[in-house]
Homo-oligomer: A and B are copies of this chain.
Amino acid sequence: MARPASTQPTEVELRILRKLWESGPSTAREVHNALNEDKGTNYSTTVKMLAVMFEKGLVERDESAFPMTFTAATGQEETRRNVMSEVIQKLYDGSAKSLVLQVLSSQEASKADLDEIRQLIEQLDGQKAAASRKRAAKRRGT
């Protein structure tokens, strides 16, 4: 009769993960210093957060070191994929295309950015073409 735990990292959790992705293994103090620049939270809070995240399996820790060091349990790429996949489902009815079109038209993208994106598209296109040639060859062979 209540709220289900979020499937994605929460606000503060994400800030902590970002620090860990950026800096690698870090002590609670280091994480705290990074956080503290934005928010003026107490050191205890950071420690507690890390403890909670450890229980959730979001971070790992090296207890042999003193002070302990923490690392993100999941990579940035994977987390991004997860979050995006949920966003696409919940906000774009599962259409990645819609999302991309919308982001491209509403967010600023430099010419260089656009070029880079175009390049990736060419490449993906190439892969698709190769794949369909392969399928055709297989059909002929059957």
Contact = CB atoms under 8 A, between A and B. Distances in A.
Contacts of A125: 111, 114
A100 B101 CA distance: 9
Nearest to A118: B121
A117 B104 CA distance: 9
Total copies of the chain: 2
A106 interface: yes
Interface residues of A, number: 39
Contacts of A105: 120, 124
Given A117-B121, A124-B114, A125-B114, A84 B107 contact: yes
Interface string A101-129: 11111111101011011101100110010
